[in-house]
Chain A
């Protein structure tokens, strides 16, 4: 159900992952990828620290990328399944190792904050360090680097353990820091001190930060990527229809279910392992 990494048309995806259910089938454009967008702004990726990555996955090195891609897909599906409140992510068009995201803070000190961020996943995932999460605009927060905007994720995942740690946990963590503020070993000492000493000032700084962030909401994404998350003011011509679809979405699975009966068959009574145990076949 998820395959956006290298074949999605750039214009198919605009608003987060809301339409992940309808991810386009790889059909016609399978062989022809959309051209790489020109003039892509180089991203300052933090130099990958640590030992040269090694192959954890088997003998054929050439399959490595496929495994990596698969694990990232699996991670993404997990994120979707978690239904993290107020968090939306979307892998980059250019790389499965870079995910764009946005987080909506709905209450607390950071209420009304809409913070865009980018997740960088190490290329030796899952054997490297934990993924990095960098806010596009440095949020005023004890755990967010005031210059780079990077969130201190490592304190929560001192060692990234395959099979135990998943990317959704990082996103979850990014959400919690705004509701439960921790000031120990801050990346932004000023924020930490203010939070401890002068709650009012801290609060006003936060409010200013939120305002600043929101005022740049409609700015073009910093990264030139077709899948980068971009906001635009409400335009009924465009958005009403999408909204309509989102609200009617709940009804769809059932209809879908009915249509799907054409292909699969079952006459097994639930709770039984006998073939043809259903008294009346519903399909007839």
Chain B
């Protein structure tokens, strides 16, 4: 009431009027008013029985105070920066405190608080001279603030936070007041730094209040970077960091445990997705705030916060969430984790998340291993996991790449000993590229390409001066090299291939160069010399664990406040037994005789004997076996993980094939990692695929005819999409056969056999001994061949295995899966480390016989495609249509954003990340 009047007065002409008034007059008016107020204050002490009506006295006081404050606000500071006369008077007479005490003695309602808060907000914000330096002004302000601390009325809260925000702004501009703030609070017996403590409850608040509180806190955080005392206070005397971190946990718990997935292709949370989920927006705001705090705060605060996030959010909340029981829940958590990672910009926060993923063990299994194993899960969990790894690989983080791939390559066991020097060799004449490109299926060769949809490009490439530059044909510098098609070697403007290949080269160059630049900060070259392979042979690879790990040290710095919050049992990072460590994804266990348990799924051994593989591997095997064949196969018949992954991947396809049969699976088909798969999901899926099939049969021809390029925009695209869908569903049945034949060596079951299998009878509980006959055949053969395997069988790591096995199934994968897959591969191929580059791309490198190379995998895919194309008459037309569709798809990407295709792509992929950092720059 009072304040609003004053505010209005100010905005209207009054200040103009005042400008002309001389300071002495103002002073006289002020003193006059004050005398009147004092009279009322003395006469009508609310505690005494008053002669005057209390509301009347109040409004009279307010009236005077309005004017007085206005005069105070408008007063210029005196000469040489000393107080103006009115301010001096206010300080001498202790005006503010007396007013506050008076109002306190009356009924101190929310309304009163609101008024006083507004009064100070105005005074502090608009005064022309610094006021807060003076205790008689600061003290009543502090009293007011502390009296508002327990307030619940939203209006008061809003005003309180606004005022606090304003105070913080002033603090940020003039840190000299800081000392006063500390002292004044001490006088009050309140916590040292009142304005800070008052803000903490609003950290996770929604809307403007929360935003203002966070902005204000951030200002204090950046203050702490220079002011040791503030930092110490925050770390030692406040619950700031624990509140922040546990707040994340709280907000996380209110996120939906199951996402409503828009469609099958969906695999990561884009901005459009999370913008629709208020709880997620709120979580991201808080995460963003943590990120910003870590960015600006004093190192001690940063360390504390990071440790609390690790121990108060990641370990106790996110880790269990990643291991929930149902597919959808786990998928949802994975998608969240991916989004969080993309949202973080501050390296030390990112480090915390990454070290959680790479080093934390949940029930003695590394999070990373669990995540890797899920890539091959059917349904969306697999693709969501892939999207997560796309994010991880995109960080250009040495630690990630080390754990994911490089540590398996460092010992150089995957290649012949003599080949180590080849790792560093440069392929001057593109022999590897030629070999890789020779894998292009004949149906996709440039001769069969459709007329380009894009503008033509050309490269200038002519023999030194031998040509005449102006004719159109002269650039046939390689005409001698022509094979059959006459102009295939021309580098001119008319070859489609050149265009797309140039685009391809351009994109590749961009990603390679940015990757090279990023990897300059890495600690080693990874070139088969640095680190030296001899030093890191299997079993030696694991160094003494956890020496000086950063999170570990940070953990020690955590005060006792929240330690109870960390998960029960072992503190994180407690060195696990050496056995477990060495067994972790080590190939050794494959050679070890594995204990055969009679009860394959339910009866998990209570403890792991050292010779056994980690639990999740065992489980993965079991469930893989169960899923693929529905029959029970002795675990130790499995050679290595690659096979398991293969089988699981195969399961994907056989499931599509046998959709009808699977419907009658037991209520919860067990999946690896303790996941259970509700029947409803299975049957839904079946329906979909059936529908797709049916549609494919009926619509196919019509669609092909209708797909005229005249139609514009989305219709066009939608039709293509449908077409792809049809292609996909039709191709699926066909392909499976070819695939299976190619994979025969690892497939324990003969094809005909499988065709006849009754899926109903193959439940987890009822293994069928008679079915064991044929599976053993192939497996046995394999085993006998390698019975004397030495300890260190070359193994390129679970990630590569899983990736390759999904890649091998390209023909059955949906398009979006293949795009993800090839995207990840392209990311990997851009890495400059010779070990990785040579493993993926150098076809001259001779690998150990058991090591699968990318080339081999692609060759398999190629022959599958060739087989499929030979078996279909209309294949060329379909290829053309598909190519058009893909081009149209890309064109639609390009059309949505600017012309920079890469940028558009990045925006799609990263989407959120640039939000942080920009949004949190402290206000001036």
Contacts and interface: CB of A to CB of B under 8 A. Distances in A.
Contacts of B501: 63, 66
B398 A58 contact: no
Interface stretch (A150-158, A168-176, A179-187, A264-272): A264-272
Given A43-B464, A276-B358, A70 B433 contact: yes
Given A60-B437, A60-B440, A162-B429, A275 B481 contact: no
A33 B460 contact: yes
A26 B506 contact: yes
Given A266-B397, A273-B543, A97 B437 contact: no
B437 A53 contact: no
B239 interface: no
B812 interface: no
B347 A268 contact: no
Interface string B418-462: 000000001011110111011010000110000000010111111
Interface residues of B, number: 85
Contacts of A272: 523, 543
Given A60-B440, A65-B477, A162-B428, A281 B433 contact: no
A83 interface: no
A54 B468 CA distance: 24
Given A260-B521, A279-B553, A265 B350 contact: yes
Given A260-B517, A279-B553, A281-B550, A58 B438 contact: yes
Interface in B793-833: none
B520 A257 contact: yes
Contacts of A204: none
B154 interface: no
Contacts of B299: 284
Interface in B458-476: 458-466, 468-470
A155 to B, nearest CB: 22
A242 B553 CA distance: 50
Contacts of B407: 273
Please report whether the interface of chain A is mostly helix, strand, loop or mixed according to DSSP: loop
A152 B296 CA distance: 66
Interface in B383-415: 395-400, 402-403, 406-407, 410
Interface string A67-105: 101110011000000000000000011111110000000
A201 interface: no
B482 interface: yes
A265 B398 contact: yes
B523 A268 contact: yes
Contacts of B520: 257, 260, 264
Given A95-B462, A266-B521, A67 B399 contact: no
Given A54-B481, A71-B429, A269-B523, A281 B399 contact: no
A275 B358 contact: yes
Given A69-B461, A265-B350, A270-B524, A277 B410 contact: no
A229 to B, nearest CB: 15
B541 interface: yes
B469 A40 contact: yes
A160 interface: no
A22 interface: no
A61 to B, nearest CB: 5
Lowest 5 CB-CB distances: which A-B pairs, in order? Answer: A58-B434, A43-B465, A264-B518, A98-B464, A275-B399
Interface of A: 1, 3, 5-6, 26, 30-31, 33, 36, 40, 42-45, 52-67, 69-71, 74-75, 92-98, 120-121, 123, 126, 162-163, 223, 257, 260-261, 263-281, 283-284
21 contacts: A33-B458, A36-B460, A43-B464, A45-B466, A52-B480, A55-B483, A59-B434, A60-B438, A62-B495, A65-B478, A67-B434, A94-B465, A163-B429, A264-B397, A264-B398, A266-B523, A268-B399, A272-B543, A273-B406, A275-B354, A277-B548
Given A65-B477, A265-B351, 20 more contacts: A5-B461, A54-B481, A59-B434, A64-B481, A66-B505, A67-B429, A70-B433, A94-B460, A257-B520, A263-B517, A265-B347, A268-B523, A273-B524, A273-B543, A274-B545, A274-B549, A276-B354, A276-B359, A281-B347, A281-B550
